[in-house]
Structure 1
Amino acid sequence: MTSLRIFARMVHKKCRSPKYPFGDATRLPISDEEVPWNVKISYNPPEYESPGLKNKPWADPYIDDTYFCPKFNFLDGNVDRVSFMGTYMIENKRPLNPEGRTGLRGRGILGRWGPSHAADPIVTRWKISEGVKEIHSVTNLPILQFCAIQRHDCNEWAIPGGFVDPGENVSETLRREFAEEAFKLLETDKEEAEKINIAIADFFKEGKEIYKGYVDDPRNTDNAWIETVAMNFHDETGETVGKFDLKAGDDAKNVLWLDIDKNLELYASHLSFIEAVAKLHNAHW
């Protein structure tokens, strides 16, 4: 797979909203200038851990559990605790978010202490009208569409991604998440599922890496955060994945081919990924 990486430090904002969106917790408000750990401030934020994490097989134990001895910054068995952002600090047994303070301690709703690795497949096709690419009237550039899902938890539109399972290859996650969320393969009939699986397997052999790093996600906390690999898979002719009917599945509420435009409002850092894809294909933005 070819690569078009974008590495950029950020001042995260979506993970500093006053109300933690997935539980009964309120963040301590902090300014942009107070986000970096090396800035000395009086800082005593509340702590939140979702009760739903207790005894879940995919989640870490509580940080003070006697038998929990994670190898932060290393591959810990089949759990990858290495950050794309480099070595992160550990304070009082807790990993510290490499992008700084969020106003909330603990791990929130996230299953892992430290980085939770995800994969975001950006599947694109051209918008076609009467057999030709549709051109935007302002930019005079062809309009690109991407497969977007509407999330159940917040109703925002997003790339159909998900977390990398322990021991799973990122390329496997990309295919699995796209199939589950955009084609409802968990529930569709066997014959149709087989056709789609064959098409996806071939289609996902070629892609471009758009981004690899930290995600400004509202679920992030001081001690748990999301990092992702975003890959673009483009159907130039619209005759492979682009021709199948989309069916929302797994944790997707809706799914559709969404026109790419700079005025879109998308979940977390997804708009920046979509912008990079539009520029890659010299499409309307």
Structure 2
Amino acid sequence: MVYFSLRRHWIGRIRLALTLFGLPYTVCTAGFRPAISCSSNQPIRTGQTIRASSFSCCSRSSTSIWTMSLSAGLHLKSRCAQYPGSNIKRFPVPDDKVDWSEIWPQYDPVSYTAPSVEKKPEWADPDIDSFSPQFNTIDGAVDRTSFEGIYDVKEGKPLNPRGRTGVTGRGLLGRWGPNHAADPILTRWKVDANREKVHHSDSKRPILQFVSIKRKDCGEWAIPGGMVDPGEQVSLTLQREFSEEAMNSISASPEEKAEIHQRITNLFNSLGFQVYKGYVDDPRNTDNAWMETVAVNFHDETGNSVSELPLQAGDDAGQVQWVDVDSSFALYASHAHFLELVATERKAHW
């Protein structure tokens, strides 16, 4: 694995600015192959090290550009035997049959769209037969373009750019095709009683901590991200999702809301590090609907910004806390690798 780092290069700054203001630009695509674990219900204590399996992807930042030459990755969490939140069993897809170019007459995927999606909430598309979505473009206020480039459409339905998943329909996802999310990664340095950085005994590097939530839907630890609303700028999604899931600003008092809002705004107005932009190997993915995200790291270097605010879980999070970043604890979807890139950028322990 080779990384080509271009420190303080102006290209990275321009690309991050374009992304945060919702403007398109050409991005790379790369495959990744994470651990096959689809769920993790391991208990975690405050300050406990989070360990995550690593895999490879492509991303850009405001201070460096990370690139890799890889073939399309074989998504594994997208092929978990049982579809999350249901009793639906995926049609088994072996590694050599993932790619759509592989002729496979025996492929007989299960069709599944969750009842919550079939109820036609405002965040979901209608059934594919009742409207005519414009794929691979901005369709009204809905962005149906993919960070992966142009995806195929067969019999009126978009095809997952990473290949077969064993399930058709939308599953738990609202949109046909790409479902865009934003993942804000809030970090700080782990410090001792004298506010000195704590270094890991093995790597001798300072230890980062990040805000992690325990998802209610699957019990896995994750970055507090969420879906980009139609027409919403990614920068606003990043701030909104962190406020709602980690700070629970919706239920705070007016005075608390004002303080929380000001501190978060100040941090999110700082120049962040774009960690990743692309496809996410997510257990909710299907043949016709899949997750994509923009992950951005906002770092509280001095520890006197959001680090001082008490964390409080929002509606979508069971628990929320600062946890140590390490390299061997499984996290939700592709979040482990996002943290690996952050640790590399910050020269922190991994």
> Which residue of structure 1 lines up, in the alignment, with residue 336 of structure 2?
271
Among candidates 95, 110, 124, match of residue 59 of structure 1: 124
Q: Does structure 1 residue 36 correspond to structure 2 residue 99?
A: yes
Among candidates 35, 44, 48, match of residue 112 of structure 2: 48
1:163-190 deviations in Å (ceiling 9; x for gaps): 0000100000000000000111110111
User: Structure 1 residue 56: deviation in Å?
Assistant: 1.0
More strand by share: 1
Among candidates 176, 199, 203, match of residue 240 of structure 2: 176
Contact 1:82 1:115 survives alignment (8 Å): yes
Q: What is the alpha-carbon distance in structure 1 between the residues aligned to residue 184 and residue 66 of structure 2? A: 16
Percent of pairs with identical residues: 53
Q: Does structure 1 residue 254 correspond to structure 2 residue 314?
A: no
Contact 1:6 1:211 survives alignment (8 Å): no
Q: Does structure 1 residue 235 correspond to structure 2 residue 300?
A: yes
Q: Which amino acid aligns with 1:74?
A: T
Among candidates 72, 76, 85, match of residue 13 of structure 1: 76
Q: Does structure 1 residue 160 correspond to structure 2 residue 228?
A: no
Count residues with an aligned counterpart.
283
1:89-119 deviations in Å (ceiling 9; x for gaps): 0001000000000011111010000000000
> Which runs of structure 2 are paired with 1:203-214 in the superposition (5 Å)?
203-205=267-269, 206-214=271-279
> Which runs of structure 2 are paired with 1:32-181 in the superposition (5 Å)?
32-42=95-105, 43-53=107-117, 54-65=119-130, 68-130=131-193, 131-181=195-245
Q: Which amino acid aligns with 1:162?
A: G
Q: What's the C-alpha RMSD, in Å, of the aligned pairs?
A: 1.1
Give the 3-state SS of the residue equivalent to 2:258 in structure 1: helix
Give the 3-state SS of the residue equivalent to 1:132 in structure 2: coil
- Please, which moves more after superposition, 53-62 or 110-119? 53-62
> Which residue of structure 2 lines up, in the alignment, with residue 218 of structure 1?
283
Q: What is the alpha-carbon distance in structure 2 between the residues aligned to residue 74 and residue 6 of structure 1? A: 27
TM-score, with structure 1 as normaliser:
0.97
Q: Which amino acid aligns with 1:28?
A: F
User: Structure 1 residue 264: deviation in Å?
Assistant: 1.8
Q: What is the alpha-carbon distance in structure 1 between the residues aligned to residue 80 and residue 132 of structure 2? A: 31
> Which residue of structure 2 lines up, in the alignment, with residue 192 of structure 1?
256
Which residues of structure 1 form unaligned runs of 5+?
none
Q: What is the alpha-carbon distance in structure 2 between the residues aligned to residue 39 and residue 93 of structure 1? A: 21
Q: Which amino acid aligns with 1:222?
A: D
User: Structure 1 residue 23: deviation in Å?
Assistant: 2.0
Which residues of structure 2 form unaligned runs of 5+?
1-12, 17-59
Q: Which amino acid aligns with 1:104?
A: V
Q: What is the alpha-carbon distance in structure 2 between the residues aligned to residue 98 and residue 151 of structure 1? A: 26
Give the 3-state SS of the residue equivalent to 2:259 in structure 1: helix
TM-score, with structure 2 as normaliser:
0.79
1:45-69 deviations in Å (ceiling 9; x for gaps): 110011111221111001111xx01
